[in-house]
Amino acid sequence: MAITNVTDQTFSGETNEGVVLVDFWAPWCGPCKMIAPVLEELDTDMGEKVKIVKVDVDENQETAGKFGVMSIPTLLVLKDGEVVDKAVGYQPKEALAEVLNKHL
């Protein structure tokens, strides 16, 4: 499954079912750029079980505000639309995989 960019308007429809990793990011954010290839690898490894979506906080402030995102990257794990886990800042692939596997 490919990583999807979502907006304030499409967020709930894209995240209300199954396990979803949400990456709150911005184009100017250095650590966000560092984590992008990690998310691509995770998508390759776990794409059948986990959906990965990205939310640009500059363009989608309503969704970022709803989840209290204060620093980026913020990664939320949603299961059937409910937040079940959270990580802030750059995370190595192994750490993210461990977090996701807890919720599968």
Active site residue 8: no
Tokens 């429809």, residue? 13
Catalytic residue of the set 3, 10, 18, 29: 29
Catalytic residue of the set 20, 21, 22, 32: 32
Active site residue 29: yes
Active site positions, annotated: 29, 32
